[in-house]
Amino acid sequence: MVSKLHQLLKPFMLRRLKADVEASLLPKKETKVYVGLSGMQREWYTKVLKKEIEVLNGAGKQEKLRLLNILMQLRKNCNHPYLFDGAEKMVNGRYDPDLSHLVANSGKMMVLDKLLVKVQNQGSRVLIFSQMTRMLDILEDYFLWRGHRYFRLDGNTDHLRRQEMIEDYNAPGSEYFIFMLSTRAGGLGINLYTADVVVLYDSDWNPQMDLQAQDRAHRIGQKKQVRVFRFVTADTVEERIVQKAEVKLRMDALVIQSGRLADKDKKLGSDEMLSMIQFGAQKMFKAKDATITDDDIDTILEISEKKTSEGMKALKNLGDLDSLQSFTFDTQPEKNMMDFEGNVYGQDGGGPELPFGLIDIGKRERKAVTYSADQRYNELSTAHHAQQIKAPKPPQKHKVEDYQFFPIKLQELLEQEVLAFRRKVNYRVPKDINKEGGWTAEDEARRKEEQFAIDSAEQLNEEEEGIKSELLELGFSDWNKRDFQQFVKACERFGRDDREKISSEVDTKTPEQVLEYHAAFWGNDAKQIEPRFTEIEHHESYITAIKRGEEKNFRRQDIQDALTAKVARYRQPFQQLRIQYGQNRGKNFTEEEDRFLVCMLKEIGYESDNCFERLRREVRNSPAFRFDWFIKSRTSTELQRRCTTLIALIEKENQELAEKVHLEKKKKGLKRKADSPDKPRKQ
């Protein structure tokens, strides 16, 4: 039945390889670069194994989720130990600006450091792939330290920014040496054919993802031979995962070439995960030092190429095309479960009972638990008294907030009132004996200074009390936290200069009150009022949010102007408008649908609220799409995604047209200047 199905589908399916389409494209050359562990990596590797030793020893419990957690932690360690919080040491409260330790504490980073120097001298350009975006953060620090020009693309990269980076990287004479990507980010349209070296910093669970990543560079247009370097940490879970991935690719080739399907379970079971975790663990616990070699990069690559070729030969012997049903994922011969390091345990005279695969690392040390009620009560009482005692404050008659913009003199009087109250109650500034790092001489000097301020504080006299009462009338005492937040949100939404819309957003205040607060917050040059938003605690976060909102408004206005300029070039845009697609035509939307989206979005207004929801309603109500089920079934999010692509094309077209007009004007000006006779200079 399967063979008949293949015969039926064969005329309708076309499967072509790049080698069939482009004969001049050289094949990829992949090399697995086996690297060792640094001392810090070996330490963290054993820490992870020790933490979950009960799970390893309880393999029969099928605790799949916890096994997956161990696997991920071990994979993080293979990439870089700084992926664990607290691994990178701080010097005097800050990180060391000399990032040589960033390279020295990771085997992969040491090899990458040597490899980049070699390929840069050869005139090559590099793509680097990693599954972990935090690893990309570490690589960014390394590139900045070494002075490499680079681009970064991950799941958070904007669509327009992505296209700009690709064009800049592929531009002739581009100064960018490295393009690093997360393995599964990007999707369609990433063409980086100007790079000829691909570094897979870590391998994906799905080998097809790594093949797709390599094809970012190995595609039509590539003029050099693409070299792929796959980093594998030797004797760790990474080596076992790569072996499994190669077997999956072998099975895929057998299925496609034989035209049959394998009745094998392709899911990763807990037994397989357990074998991955235990792979190389015995060697890890026996080793005491780092396993990184300080060989030259040529020597490392030569050894890696030899080991890669040996692995490929072993893969070819796993299964024949005619024996697919006997195919197995197991890459190791069967072992006696009681056979361990050359000894068979559990038999007569064969030694002690020890199941194969268990790691003897000793017992975990546990904290002593106190079961005495009296002793426990004393411990809790001591801990309670050891806590820092809060300094007392007088009962406040008037609540003063920083966003109410009271005069600074009022803050000084209120502080004096608090210090005088503490002196009255004979408050003594305590030592923080539980302070991290211990109580220093600077802390003691600061404590004495605070105590001196309390001891020398005086109660407010009648004159100061009168001044305080007058100053309490000068602030915005009727503004609460909710009013302030509404004001900030309005500034973020409409921009700080749109006073009319801002004044209508604060529902508990009149427009005049909001305008008065606006003048105090932002200042007013006409009335010579200085801005006072810097007096608010954490004002930087508010200003950053407002600037971000203003940038969005400017961007929306730019898009609206681009749409207006595009539509204005046609007398009947709904019938005549044309879009220069280039290679970004897409397969789903027709030109008629795109034309309607552009024209209607211009009519609705890109800067208006819920513009894409309104666009969706217009599409559904349009008689032109009465029988077009595809576009009528699109959600507002899908329409927004399509409009984003069309806007990018329109902006690019407008820019090219503006440059062309500017160039023509420049040529006409030069021609007019050449044709006109020189006027005699006045004496």
Cα–Cα distance list, 409 to 10, 109, 468, 529 (Å): 87, 57, 8, 18
Report pLDDT digits (tens) over 652-662: 888 988 888 88
Range name among 210-214, 293-297, 526-530 with the lowest pLDDT average: 293-297
Task: Name the more confident of 205 and 597.
Answer: 597
Given a cut of 60, is residue 442 above it in pLDDT? yes
Instruction: Give the span between the Cα atoms of 247 and 241, in whole angstroms.
Output: 10
Question: CA neighbours within 13 Å on the CB side: how many for 27?
Answer: 5
* Predicted pLDDT of residue 221: 81
Range name among 155-169, 329-343, 442-456, 663-677 with the lowest pLDDT average: 329-343
Instruction: Give the span between the Cα atoms of 676 and 321, in whole angstroms.
Output: 83
Given a cut of 60, is residue 337 above it in pLDDT? no
Cα–Cα distance list, 375 to 315, 369, 379, 381, 382 (Å): 65, 11, 6, 10, 11
Task: Name the more confident of 396 and 513.
Answer: 513
Confidence class of residue 447 from pLDDT cuts 50, 70 and 90? confident
**Whose structure tokens read 């009681």?**
338
Mean pLDDT of 565-584: 87
Highest-pLDDT range among 252-266, 357-371, 435-449: 435-449
* Predicted pLDDT of residue 293: 60
* Predicted pLDDT of residue 282: 55
Task: Name the more confident of 313 and 467.
Answer: 467
Range name among 44-58, 124-138, 453-467 with the lowest pLDDT average: 44-58
pTM across the whole model: 0.47
In this structure, what token pair is assigned to residue 399?
A: 């609540």
Range name among 350-354, 588-592, 657-661 with the lowest pLDDT average: 350-354
Task: Name the more confident of 69 and 228.
Answer: 228
Mean pLDDT of 253-266: 49
Instruction: Give the span between the Cα atoms of 166 and 190, in whole angstroms.
Output: 7
Can you point out the beta strands (E) in 187-344?
Answer: 197-200, 227-233, 339-340, 343-344
Task: Name the more confident of 258 and 94.
Answer: 94
Mean pLDDT of 208-218: 86
Q: Residues near 71 by Cβ (< 8 Å), separated by ≥ 6?
A: 237, 273, 276, 277
* Predicted pLDDT of residue 248: 76
Residue among 470, 389, 460, 466 at smallest CA distance from 421: 460
Task: Name the more confident of 296 and 636.
Answer: 636
Range name among 223-227, 289-293, 399-403, 470-474 with the lowest pLDDT average: 289-293
Confidence class of residue 178 from pLDDT cuts 50, 70 and 90? very high
* Predicted pLDDT of residue 191: 87
Mean pLDDT of 498-524: 87
Given a cut of 50, is residue 425 above it in pLDDT? yes
Q: Which residues on adjacent β-strands are paired with residue 35? A: 233
Q: Are 247 and 315 in contact (CB under 8 A)?
A: yes
* Predicted pLDDT of residue 231: 93
Q: Please name each of the domains of the chain with its CATH number.
A: 29-326 (3.40.50.300), 332-362 (no CATH), 391-471 (1.10.1040.30), 481-536 (1.10.10.60), 550-671 (1.10.10.60)
* Predicted pLDDT of residue 355: 41
Range name among 51-60, 175-184, 322-331, 584-593 with the lowest pLDDT average: 322-331
* Predicted pLDDT of residue 52: 59
Amino acid in the structure at residue 609: D
Instruction: Give the span between the Cα atoms of 506 and 490, in whole angstroms.
Output: 8
* Predicted pLDDT of residue 54: 54
* Predicted pLDDT of residue 660: 87
What is the rounded average pLDDT for all residues in the chain? 77
Confidence class of residue 368 from pLDDT cuts 50, 70 and 90? low
Can you point out the beta strands (E) in 224-283?
Answer: 227-233
**Whose structure tokens read 């396993």?**
291
Task: Name the more confident of 568 and 477.
Answer: 568
* Predicted pLDDT of residue 329: 47
Three-class secondary structure of residue 340 per DSSP: strand
* Predicted pLDDT of residue 64: 52
Report pLDDT digits (tens) over 217-245: 888 888 888 999 999 998 888 888 888 88
Given a cut of 60, is residue 336 above it in pLDDT? no
**Is the torsion defined by CA of 397, 401, 402, 407 positive or negative?**
negative
* Predicted pLDDT of residue 530: 80
Mean pLDDT of 64-80: 77
Q: Are 81 and 239 in contact (CB under 8 A)?
A: no
Cα–Cα distance list, 342 to 149, 283, 346, 352, 354 (Å): 53, 15, 13, 14, 13
**Is the torsion defined by CA of 185, 187, 190, 195 positive or negative?**
positive
Percent residues over pLDDT 90 in the chain: 13
Given a cut of 60, is residue 342 above it in pLDDT? no
Question: What is the end-to-end Cα distance of the chain in Å, rounded?
Answer: 103
Report pLDDT digits (tens) over 111-123: 999 999 999 999 9
* Predicted pLDDT of residue 156: 84
Instruction: Give the span between the Cα atoms of 648 and 654, in whole angstroms.
Output: 10
Mean pLDDT of 114-139: 92
Mean pLDDT of 12-16: 73
Residue among 356, 358, 75 at smallest CA distance from 240: 75
* Predicted pLDDT of residue 382: 56
CA-CA-CA-CA torsion for 104, 107, 109, 111, nearest 10 degrees?
Answer: 110
Instruction: Give the span between the Cα atoms of 142 and 105, in whole angstroms.
Output: 13
Question: CA neighbours within 13 Å on the CB side: how many for 123?
Answer: 3
Range name among 117-126, 290-299, 300-309, 423-432 with the lowest pLDDT average: 290-299
* Predicted pLDDT of residue 177: 93
* Predicted pLDDT of residue 340: 33
Amino acid in the structure at residue 202: D
* Predicted pLDDT of residue 663: 86
